[in-house]
Amino acid sequence: MKLAVLERNSVGTDVDVSCFEKFGEVTYYPNTVADNAAERVKDADIVIANKAPMNEETLKDAPNVKLICLFATGFDNVDLAYCKKRGIRVANVVNYCTPAVAQHTLLLAMMLAEKIAFYDDYVKSGAYSAQDRFSNFDRTFHDLAGKTWGIVGMGSIGHRVAELAEAFGCKVIFYSASGKSTCTDYERVEFETLLRESDILSLHCPLSDRTRNLINKDAFEKMKKSAVLINVARGPVVNTQDLYQALTEGKIAAAGLDVLEKEPMEPSNPLAQIKDSTKLIITPHMSWASVESRTCLVEEVVKNIEAFLDGEDRNIVNK
Protein backbone atom coordinates (compact mmCIF):
# COMPACT_ATOMS: atom_id res chain seq x y z
CA MET A 1 0.00 0.00 0.00
CA LYS A 2 1.25 3.46 -0.87
CA LEU A 3 0.57 6.55 1.22
CA ALA A 4 1.20 10.16 0.20
CA VAL A 5 1.51 12.66 3.03
CA LEU A 6 1.07 15.89 1.10
CA GLU A 7 1.65 18.47 3.82
CA ARG A 8 3.89 16.82 6.35
CA ASN A 9 5.09 20.15 7.79
CA SER A 10 1.52 21.24 8.56
CA VAL A 11 1.71 19.23 11.81
CA GLY A 12 5.20 20.49 12.64
CA THR A 13 8.53 18.79 12.20
CA ASP A 14 8.77 18.37 15.97
CA VAL A 15 5.92 15.83 15.87
CA ASP A 16 6.78 12.28 14.83
CA VAL A 17 4.80 10.94 11.87
CA SER A 18 6.67 7.68 11.35
CA CYS A 19 3.57 5.91 12.68
CA PHE A 20 2.15 5.97 9.13
CA GLU A 21 4.90 3.69 7.90
CA LYS A 22 3.29 0.63 9.48
CA PHE A 23 0.62 0.83 6.78
CA GLY A 24 2.99 0.65 3.83
CA GLU A 25 5.32 2.76 1.71
CA VAL A 26 5.04 6.43 2.67
CA THR A 27 6.14 9.43 0.63
CA TYR A 28 6.37 12.67 2.57
CA TYR A 29 6.11 16.14 1.03
CA PRO A 30 6.79 19.24 3.17
CA ASN A 31 3.98 21.16 1.44
CA THR A 32 1.72 20.68 -1.57
CA VAL A 33 -0.27 23.16 -3.65
CA ALA A 34 -2.75 22.80 -6.49
CA ASP A 35 -0.08 22.79 -9.18
CA ASN A 36 1.73 19.70 -7.90
CA ALA A 37 -1.03 17.78 -6.09
CA ALA A 38 -2.04 15.59 -9.06
CA GLU A 39 1.48 14.34 -9.67
CA ARG A 40 1.96 13.47 -6.01
CA VAL A 41 -1.25 11.46 -5.53
CA LYS A 42 -1.28 9.54 -8.84
CA ASP A 43 0.14 6.30 -7.39
CA ALA A 44 -1.28 6.58 -3.87
CA ASP A 45 -3.80 4.30 -2.18
CA ILE A 46 -4.21 6.64 0.80
CA VAL A 47 -3.71 10.40 0.72
CA ILE A 48 -3.10 12.44 3.86
CA ALA A 49 -3.70 16.14 3.22
CA ASN A 50 -4.57 19.39 4.93
CA LYS A 51 -5.24 22.34 2.58
CA ALA A 52 -4.17 20.84 -0.75
CA PRO A 53 -7.17 20.67 -3.12
CA MET A 54 -8.67 17.20 -3.51
CA ASN A 55 -11.02 17.34 -6.48
CA GLU A 56 -11.49 15.94 -9.97
CA GLU A 57 -8.59 17.94 -11.35
CA THR A 58 -6.13 16.56 -8.80
CA LEU A 59 -7.58 13.04 -8.47
CA LYS A 60 -8.67 12.09 -11.99
CA ASP A 61 -5.34 10.38 -12.78
CA ALA A 62 -5.10 8.67 -9.38
CA PRO A 63 -7.07 5.44 -9.89
CA ASN A 64 -5.90 3.72 -6.70
CA VAL A 65 -6.95 6.31 -4.11
CA LYS A 66 -9.39 4.76 -1.66
CA LEU A 67 -9.12 7.06 1.34
CA ILE A 68 -8.30 10.72 1.93
CA CYS A 69 -7.42 11.56 5.52
CA LEU A 70 -7.30 15.18 6.59
CA PHE A 71 -4.92 16.75 9.07
CA ALA A 72 -7.89 18.99 9.93
CA THR A 73 -11.53 19.22 10.95
CA GLY A 74 -12.58 21.35 7.98
CA PHE A 75 -12.90 19.80 4.54
CA ASP A 76 -13.53 22.81 2.31
CA ASN A 77 -10.58 21.72 0.15
CA VAL A 78 -12.25 18.39 -0.78
CA ASP A 79 -14.91 17.86 -3.45
CA LEU A 80 -16.99 15.44 -1.41
CA ALA A 81 -19.46 14.70 -4.19
CA TYR A 82 -16.70 13.76 -6.62
CA CYS A 83 -15.00 11.58 -4.03
CA LYS A 84 -18.25 9.84 -3.22
CA LYS A 85 -18.86 9.16 -6.91
CA ARG A 86 -15.38 7.67 -7.13
CA GLY A 87 -15.89 5.59 -3.99
CA ILE A 88 -13.17 7.51 -2.17
CA ARG A 89 -13.79 7.85 1.55
CA VAL A 90 -12.89 11.15 3.22
CA ALA A 91 -12.10 11.27 6.95
CA ASN A 92 -11.48 14.31 9.11
CA VAL A 93 -10.43 14.74 12.75
CA VAL A 94 -12.68 16.38 15.32
CA ASN A 95 -12.17 17.86 18.78
CA TYR A 96 -8.40 17.39 18.78
CA CYS A 97 -7.58 21.03 19.56
CA THR A 98 -10.48 22.14 21.77
CA PRO A 99 -8.32 22.93 24.84
CA ALA A 100 -5.75 24.84 22.76
CA VAL A 101 -8.21 27.02 20.85
CA ALA A 102 -10.26 27.75 23.97
CA GLN A 103 -7.07 28.72 25.80
CA HIS A 104 -6.03 31.04 22.96
CA THR A 105 -9.47 32.64 22.90
CA LEU A 106 -9.20 33.55 26.57
CA LEU A 107 -5.64 34.75 26.10
CA LEU A 108 -6.57 37.16 23.30
CA ALA A 109 -9.59 38.46 25.16
CA MET A 110 -7.73 39.04 28.41
CA MET A 111 -4.72 40.70 26.76
CA LEU A 112 -7.02 43.14 24.98
CA ALA A 113 -9.39 43.72 27.88
CA GLU A 114 -6.53 44.50 30.26
CA LYS A 115 -4.34 46.30 27.68
CA ILE A 116 -1.36 44.11 28.52
CA ALA A 117 0.62 45.24 25.47
CA PHE A 118 0.58 48.84 26.70
CA TYR A 119 1.72 47.94 30.21
CA ASP A 120 4.43 45.55 29.02
CA ASP A 121 5.81 48.29 26.79
CA TYR A 122 5.48 50.84 29.61
CA VAL A 123 7.79 48.80 31.80
CA LYS A 124 10.27 47.81 29.09
CA SER A 125 10.53 51.36 27.77
CA GLY A 126 11.88 52.56 31.11
CA ALA A 127 8.84 54.72 31.83
CA TYR A 128 7.94 52.65 34.90
CA SER A 129 11.44 52.96 36.37
CA ALA A 130 11.28 56.72 35.84
CA GLN A 131 8.02 57.29 37.70
CA ASP A 132 7.79 58.00 41.43
CA ARG A 133 4.80 55.79 42.31
CA PHE A 134 4.65 52.04 42.74
CA SER A 135 1.82 51.42 40.26
CA ASN A 136 0.49 52.60 36.93
CA PHE A 137 -3.00 52.23 35.54
CA ASP A 138 -3.18 55.13 33.11
CA ARG A 139 -5.02 52.95 30.58
CA THR A 140 -8.22 51.97 32.34
CA PHE A 141 -9.47 48.39 32.31
CA HIS A 142 -12.28 46.43 33.92
CA ASP A 143 -13.06 43.11 35.55
CA LEU A 144 -14.36 40.29 33.39
CA ALA A 145 -16.68 39.36 36.24
CA GLY A 146 -20.13 40.71 35.52
CA LYS A 147 -19.52 41.18 31.81
CA THR A 148 -21.49 39.43 29.06
CA TRP A 149 -19.55 37.02 26.87
CA GLY A 150 -21.29 36.27 23.59
CA ILE A 151 -20.47 33.23 21.48
CA VAL A 152 -21.26 32.34 17.88
CA GLY A 153 -21.01 28.57 17.49
CA MET A 154 -21.69 26.43 20.56
CA GLY A 155 -19.77 23.35 19.44
CA SER A 156 -17.05 21.74 21.54
CA ILE A 157 -14.75 24.78 21.38
CA GLY A 158 -17.54 27.29 21.97
CA HIS A 159 -18.79 25.25 24.91
CA ARG A 160 -15.33 25.08 26.47
CA VAL A 161 -14.89 28.84 26.06
CA ALA A 162 -18.28 29.32 27.71
CA GLU A 163 -17.13 27.26 30.70
CA LEU A 164 -13.92 29.27 31.03
CA ALA A 165 -15.72 32.59 30.65
CA GLU A 166 -18.25 31.53 33.27
CA ALA A 167 -15.38 30.64 35.62
CA PHE A 168 -14.25 34.27 35.37
CA GLY A 169 -17.73 35.43 36.36
CA CYS A 170 -19.09 36.28 32.92
CA LYS A 171 -22.66 35.84 31.84
CA VAL A 172 -22.63 33.68 28.70
CA ILE A 173 -25.07 34.01 25.82
CA PHE A 174 -24.84 32.44 22.38
CA TYR A 175 -26.24 32.53 18.87
CA SER A 176 -26.67 29.43 16.75
CA ALA A 177 -25.76 30.35 13.18
CA SER A 178 -27.10 27.04 11.89
CA GLY A 179 -30.22 27.23 14.00
CA LYS A 180 -29.67 23.59 14.98
CA SER A 181 -27.92 23.91 18.34
CA THR A 182 -29.27 21.66 21.09
CA CYS A 183 -27.26 23.36 23.84
CA THR A 184 -29.37 24.22 26.89
CA ASP A 185 -26.50 25.03 29.26
CA TYR A 186 -26.43 28.67 28.22
CA GLU A 187 -28.95 31.26 27.06
CA ARG A 188 -29.55 31.19 23.33
CA VAL A 189 -30.40 34.57 21.82
CA GLU A 190 -31.11 36.15 18.46
CA PHE A 191 -28.17 37.61 16.55
CA GLU A 192 -29.09 41.25 17.16
CA THR A 193 -29.39 40.58 20.88
CA LEU A 194 -25.97 38.95 20.87
CA LEU A 195 -24.43 41.97 19.16
CA ARG A 196 -26.17 44.46 21.40
CA GLU A 197 -25.39 42.80 24.74
CA SER A 198 -21.92 41.26 24.33
CA ASP A 199 -18.93 42.88 26.01
CA ILE A 200 -16.73 40.17 24.51
CA LEU A 201 -17.86 38.38 21.37
CA SER A 202 -15.98 35.26 20.27
CA LEU A 203 -16.51 33.33 17.06
CA HIS A 204 -16.27 29.52 16.92
CA CYS A 205 -18.53 28.66 13.99
CA PRO A 206 -17.74 26.84 10.74
CA LEU A 207 -17.54 28.85 7.53
CA SER A 208 -20.75 28.47 5.53
CA ASP A 209 -23.13 30.54 3.45
CA ARG A 210 -24.79 31.52 6.73
CA THR A 211 -21.61 32.71 8.42
CA ARG A 212 -19.59 34.27 5.59
CA ASN A 213 -19.36 38.04 6.34
CA LEU A 214 -21.58 37.49 9.38
CA ILE A 215 -19.65 40.18 11.23
CA ASN A 216 -19.84 43.14 8.88
CA LYS A 217 -20.51 46.87 8.94
CA ASP A 218 -24.13 46.41 10.02
CA ALA A 219 -23.05 44.12 12.84
CA PHE A 220 -20.41 46.54 14.10
CA GLU A 221 -22.98 49.34 14.17
CA LYS A 222 -25.02 47.29 16.66
CA MET A 223 -22.15 46.35 18.97
CA LYS A 224 -21.02 48.21 22.04
CA LYS A 225 -18.24 50.72 21.47
CA SER A 226 -16.44 49.02 24.36
CA ALA A 227 -16.80 45.53 22.86
CA VAL A 228 -13.91 43.17 22.12
CA LEU A 229 -14.21 40.82 19.13
CA ILE A 230 -12.30 37.52 19.00
CA ASN A 231 -12.18 35.44 15.82
CA VAL A 232 -10.65 31.96 16.08
CA ALA A 233 -13.15 30.44 13.63
CA ARG A 234 -12.52 31.23 9.97
CA GLY A 235 -11.29 34.51 8.51
CA PRO A 236 -14.19 35.16 6.10
CA VAL A 237 -16.70 35.13 8.98
CA VAL A 238 -15.52 38.73 9.54
CA ASN A 239 -15.41 41.30 6.75
CA THR A 240 -11.84 42.63 6.80
CA GLN A 241 -12.51 46.13 5.48
CA ASP A 242 -15.49 46.58 7.79
CA LEU A 243 -13.40 45.47 10.78
CA TYR A 244 -10.67 47.93 9.86
CA GLN A 245 -13.20 50.75 9.74
CA ALA A 246 -14.83 49.65 12.98
CA LEU A 247 -11.47 49.72 14.78
CA THR A 248 -10.22 52.99 13.30
CA GLU A 249 -13.57 54.74 13.76
CA GLY A 250 -14.11 53.49 17.31
CA LYS A 251 -17.16 51.37 16.55
CA ILE A 252 -15.68 48.67 18.81
CA ALA A 253 -12.78 48.81 21.25
CA ALA A 254 -10.54 46.00 20.07
CA ALA A 255 -10.21 42.76 18.15
CA GLY A 256 -8.12 39.61 18.48
CA LEU A 257 -7.71 37.44 15.38
CA ASP A 258 -6.09 34.08 14.78
CA VAL A 259 -7.61 33.75 11.30
CA LEU A 260 -7.82 36.03 8.26
CA GLU A 261 -9.72 36.10 4.97
CA LYS A 262 -6.51 35.24 3.11
CA GLU A 263 -3.67 33.35 4.75
CA PRO A 264 -0.85 34.06 5.07
CA MET A 265 -1.68 37.71 5.59
CA GLU A 266 -1.26 39.83 2.49
CA PRO A 267 0.73 43.08 2.81
CA SER A 268 -2.26 44.90 1.31
CA ASN A 269 -4.55 43.81 4.15
CA PRO A 270 -5.74 47.07 5.75
CA LEU A 271 -5.43 45.55 9.21
CA ALA A 272 -1.66 45.58 8.75
CA GLN A 273 -1.83 49.35 9.19
CA ILE A 274 -3.01 49.04 12.80
CA LYS A 275 0.12 48.79 14.97
CA ASP A 276 -1.53 49.43 18.35
CA SER A 277 -1.65 46.03 20.06
CA THR A 278 -4.16 47.26 22.63
CA LYS A 279 -6.56 47.69 19.71
CA LEU A 280 -5.66 44.73 17.51
CA ILE A 281 -3.74 41.51 18.04
CA ILE A 282 -3.26 39.08 15.14
CA THR A 283 -1.68 35.67 15.53
CA PRO A 284 -0.72 33.46 12.54
CA HIS A 285 -3.46 30.79 12.64
CA MET A 286 -1.72 28.97 15.47
CA SER A 287 -4.35 28.70 18.20
CA TRP A 288 -4.90 25.04 17.33
CA ALA A 289 -1.23 24.13 17.22
CA SER A 290 -0.10 23.22 20.73
CA VAL A 291 2.23 20.23 20.82
CA GLU A 292 -0.53 18.24 22.47
CA SER A 293 -3.05 19.13 19.75
CA ARG A 294 -0.72 18.31 16.87
CA THR A 295 0.29 15.00 18.44
CA CYS A 296 -3.36 14.12 18.96
CA LEU A 297 -4.11 15.06 15.34
CA VAL A 298 -1.56 12.57 14.00
CA GLU A 299 -2.79 9.86 16.35
CA GLU A 300 -6.38 10.40 15.24
CA VAL A 301 -5.45 10.10 11.56
CA VAL A 302 -3.76 6.77 12.36
CA LYS A 303 -6.98 5.60 14.01
CA ASN A 304 -8.98 6.71 10.97
CA ILE A 305 -6.74 4.63 8.68
CA GLU A 306 -6.91 1.61 10.99
CA ALA A 307 -10.70 1.82 11.08
CA PHE A 308 -10.91 2.09 7.30
CA LEU A 309 -8.71 -0.96 6.81
CA ASP A 310 -10.93 -2.85 9.27
CA GLY A 311 -14.01 -1.94 7.22
CA GLU A 312 -15.32 0.59 9.75
CA ASP A 313 -16.53 4.14 9.21
CA ARG A 314 -14.68 6.51 11.52
CA ASN A 315 -15.02 10.25 11.00
CA ILE A 316 -16.12 9.71 7.40
CA VAL A 317 -17.65 12.94 6.09
CA ASN A 318 -18.97 11.73 2.71
CA LYS A 319 -21.01 8.63 3.49
**DSSP conformation letters of 53-80:** -BSHHHHTT-TT--EEEESSS--TTB-H
Catalytic residue (one of 196, 212, 285, 314): 285
CB atoms within 10 A of CB 267: 6
Instruction: Kindly report the three-state secondary structure assignment for every residue of 100-154.
Output: HHHHHHHHHHHHHHCCHHHHHHHHHCCHHHHCCCCCCCCCCCCCCCCCEEEEECC
Euclidean distance between CA atoms 75 and 54, whole angstroms = 9
Catalytic residue (one of 187, 221, 263, 266): 263
| Residue 234 annotated to the active site | yes
* C-beta separation of 192 from 219 below 8 A: no
Name the nearest CA neighbour of 251 among 273, 276, 274, 228.
228
Query: 1: which residues sit within 8 A by CB, 6+ positions away?
Result: 23, 24, 25, 45, 46
Let me know how long the chain is: 319
Which uninterrupted H or E stretch holds 35? helix 34-41
| Residue 160 annotated to the active site | no
* C-beta separation of 198 from 170 below 8 A: no
| Residue 190 annotated to the active site | no
Catalytic residue (one of 234, 261, 294, 300): 234
Catalytic residue list: 234, 263, 285
